[in-house]
Structure 1
Amino acid sequence: MSRGNRTTAALTLDPDDILLNRAAVILSLARANDKAKADPNSPGGISTRRANFNLVDTHVQRAATRTERLSDFEVAHLILALTDNLVHDCCLSFATGEYAEAAEKLWIELITTTPRPARVNPAALLAMSAFIQGDHSLTAAALAHLDDTAPGHPVANLLRPGHALVSQEDLRRTAEESHQLIQYL
């Protein structure tokens, strides 16, 4: 997606009835995940955190060329993956990598297809990524969604236009350093 095609119009939410249906899918999947975590006989393997990051990573890479919309089930899985703070923090690494635009495309889709309050994490990631890229209008649009979803969110306070508490370069360095967090998943 070219940078010029990303406008605040791209952040128009799906209709309420569709968002309500996705909320039910997210809730159902969250309950199933909680039940699986509580099962002492759950199979081993990679950590849930690593699996969640891998899921997001796969979808970021696919977003570069994907033309079809995410299914409700994919949206639910991605939103739940982003609720893990370490996974969320690792996803900031996409803001400075080769998939920065693809990640922004995914964050936009997750914002527009996810009910409140579940869209808070993609909104925060989009705001930080757009800020790093110097895209002021997209930063402002993402912050508007963040304010609507979670008034007083720390990312909104950090990036508030005219009162930003962090510079573009400082946030870029933080995003680059977030690559190192991935090893702890």
Structure 2
Amino acid sequence: MTTSPFSREFESSDDQAQSWASRESEHLSEPGELIAAIPALMGFSPEDSVVALCLMDTTPKTLGPIMRHDYFPNIGSELAPAMHSALEQFVRVCATEGTVAVILVMIGDHPLGELFDIAAEFNDMLTGNGVELVDVFAVPVIARGRDWMSILAPDRHGRLPDPGSSSVAAAQVLGGRVIRASRSELVRSVRGQSSNHATIGSLIDRGRAQIASARCEAHCSNDPFAQVRREVEEVLAFVERMRRGVFPDARECAHLALVLSDVRVRDTVMGLAATEYADSAEALWMILTHELPVPECSYPATLLGFFAYARGDGPLAGIALAYALEADPEYSLAGLLDNSLQAGMRPDGIRRLAEVGLDLARDFDVSAMPEAR
């Protein structure tokens, strides 16, 4: 791992695709089908990567979290320190998850000797933790017709089917998840390229005094939560507009940035992740992440990361949280979520924060907050 908050090489995914994959275990028991399903499981097609598929049994029928890390070539005859650290991180997550076995897939045009070295090192690490390495596959790129082979049994080989035609890909597309062509495409989808940053930044600066005054007045009133309630309800109104396909303009984006700067508002709207408004709210966070300048983009980027994390989309969550920390390295919630993601905490543990948000909505008497689904 590097120390930069943005250039993360590790992602994990643990979402509804795994349950679909379990139902398709008859097909995924074929190595080619399993390798071809990786882009759908990850949400993008990995390149020059090492992918570990956790099994809660010794067959793909019990597929668990999927982990990916950049591939690092050997330094001389030794594994690169970054590659060794990546394997250690895989093993830590396996231990946390109670993984029984692992299938390793190495993607890229790499020397066979290096692949053997990585496989041997990973096997030793897993064996020491009571986890079986079921097989290790190598493929230059995940694309139709490309050759794959087993590192452990070279006589096992074949050609990949079309990744876009896999049953897991179909399930993801029907579920509304976009499968990106590459990780860099997923990064661009988060960072965006807005021409409004300067304009919105000026609007934010001009609005600070007004919202600070409103909050001060509310704090001194008989109803200290009145302003928080109003601001949460404003966010809910924008989420409702997103459901109808109406996007916020520059002035509204600036206002939302100021609203989300209050951690009470932010923490409350996290509750939307547990409601039927989750998809629309996540779409709003994506737009705001594009449109808001630094450092204000850290607020919606963190929410985007949380919503993606809560539904099991680790790659999107990691990229969004890394961007939030790049914009504001001291933004504590982004750091907390990012640390949890890197440590392999399951989405169901993070989803408890959405329940806290719903509790806050009740405490603040936000009548417009939808019920948990």
Provide the C-alpha distance between the structure 2 equivalents of 1:20 and 1:33, rounded to a whole number of angstroms.
20
Number of residues paired by the alignment?
180
Deviation, 1:157, is 4.1
TM-superposed CA distance for 1:90, in Å, is 0.5
Measured after TM superposition, the shift of residue 4 of structure 1 is 1.5
Root mean square deviation of aligned Cα? 2.7
Shift in CA distance, 152/62, structure 1 to aligned 2, threshold 3 Å? same
Query: 1:31 deviation in Å?
Result: 1.9
* In 1: Cα distance, 2:215 partner to 2:301 partner: 27
How far has the Cα of 1:178 moved from its partner?
A: 1.7
- Identify the residue that residue 158 of structure 1 maps to in structure 2: 337
Alpha-carbon deviations, 1:85-114, whole Å to 9, x = none?
111100111112101111110000001000
C-alpha contact 1:111 1:119 (8 A) present in aligned 2: yes
Q: Which residue is 2:157 aligned to? A: none
Q: How far off its partner does 1:122 sit?
A: 0.7
Partner deviation per Cα, 1:58-88 (whole Å, 9 max, x = no partner): 1112112315x42111101111111111111
1:3 counterpart = 2:177:
yes
Q: Could you say what secondary structure the match of 1:116 adopts?
A: coil
* 1:99 matched residue in structure 2: 277
Task: Name stretches of at least 5 consecutive residues in structure 1 with no aligned partner.
Answer: none
Q: Determine what percentage of the aligned residue pairs are the same residue.
A: 26
Letter in 2 for 1:80: L
Letter in 2 for 1:171: I
TM-score by length of 2: 0.44
- C-alpha distance in structure 1 between counterparts of 2:326 and 2:273, whole Å: 23
Task: Report matched runs for 1:78-89 at 5 Å.
Answer: 78-89=256-267
After superposition, the Cα gap between the structure-2 partners of 1:137 and 1:74, relative to the gap in structure 1 and judged at 3 Å, is same
Is residue 58 from structure 1 mapped to residue 237 from structure 2 by the alignment? yes
Q: In 2, distance between residues paired with 1:20 and 1:4? A: 30
Normalization by structure 1: what TM-score?
A: 0.84
1:83-162 matches, cutoff 5 A: 83-151=261-329, 153-154=331-332, 155-160=334-339, 161-162=341-342
Q: Compared with structure 1, are the counterparts of its residues 61 and 3 closer, same or farther at alpha carbon in structure 2 (3 Å cutoff)?
A: farther
Structure 1 residue aligned with 2:228: 49
**Selected match of 2:193 from 4, 9, 13:** 13
Q: Which runs of 5+ in 2 are unaligned?
A: 1-174, 181-185, 365-373
On the 8 A contact 2:322/2:338 being kept in 1, the answer is no
Report matched runs for 1:164-183 at 5 Å. Answer: 164=344, 166-183=345-362
Q: Which amino acid in the other structure matches residue 119 of structure 1?
A: C
* Mapped contact 2:238–2:248 kept (Cα < 8 A): no
Distance 1:172 1:3 in 2: 19
Rg larger for: 2
Q: Give me the whole-angstrom Cα distance separating, in 1, the residues matched to 2:212 and 2:357.
A: 27
